[in-house]
Amino acid sequence: MKSIVCMKAVPSTNQVRLDPVTHTICRDGRQAVVNPFDASALETAVGIKERLGGQVTVLSMGIPDTERLLRDALSRGADTGILLSDRAFAGADTLATSYSLSLGVKEAGGYQMILCGKMAVDGDTAQIGPELAGVLEIPCVTDVCEILHLTDKEVQVKKGVDGGHQILKVKLPVLLTVEKDICMPRMPSIAGIRFGETGPVAVKGASELAADPMRIGLTGSPTQVIKTFTPKRQSESIPIPGTPGEQASQLAILCKEVSR
Partner 1 sequence: MTGLKVDREKCIGCGLCVKACVSHGLSMEKKKAVVNDHCTLCGICVDSCHVGAISLEKESVISDEQWKNSKGIWVFAQQKEGEILPVVYELLGKGRELADGKGCRLTALLGEAKEHGNTEKLIAAGADQVIVCRDSRLAEMDTEIYVKWICRQIQRFAPEIFLFGATGFGRALAPGVAVHMQTGLTADCTALEIDTKTGLLCQTRPAFGGNLMATIVCPNHRPQMATVWAGIMKAREPDPSRTGKVIETFLEEKDISRIQILKNLPAGVSDSITQASVLVVIGRGIGNKKNIPMMKELSELLGGRLGCSRPLVEAGWCEYKYQVGQTGSSVSPRLLLSIGVSGAVQHLAGINGAEKIIAINNDPKAPIFGISHYVVVGDCIEVVKALIRELSDIS
The residues in 222-251 that bind partner 1, with binding defined as CB under 8 A, are: 222-231, 233-234, 237-240, 244-245, 247-249, 251
Can you say how many angstroms the Cα of residue 52 is from the centroid of all Cα atoms in its chain?
A: 24
- Asked if 45 and 116 touch (Cβ cutoff 8 Å), the reply is no
Q: Shortest Cβ distance from residue 150 to partner 1 (Å)?
A: 15
The residues in 154-173 that bind partner 1, with binding defined as CB under 8 A, are: 156, 158, 160-171
The residues in 97-126 that bind partner 1, with binding defined as CB under 8 A, are: 98, 121-126
Closest C-alpha to 74, from 175, 209, 182, 202: 202
Interaction between residue 153 and partner 1 (CB under 8 A): no
Interaction between residue 181 and partner 1 (CB under 8 A): yes
User: How many residues are recorded in the chain?
Assistant: 260
The residues in 129-148 that bind partner 1, with binding defined as CB under 8 A, are: 129-131, 133-135, 139-143
Binding mask 42-71 for partner 1 (x = CB under 8 A): ---------------------xxx------
149: helix, coil or strand? strand
Binding mask 5-24 for partner 1 (x = CB under 8 A): ------x-xx-xxxx--x-x
Q: Which is nearer to partner 1, 135 or 202 (CB)?
A: 135
Where helices occur in 9-108 by DSSP H, the ranges are: 36-52, 67-75, 94-108
DSSP 15-27: --EE-TTT-SEE-
The residues in 190-209 that bind partner 1, with binding defined as CB under 8 A, are: none
CA 15, 16, 19, 22 torsion-angle sign: positive
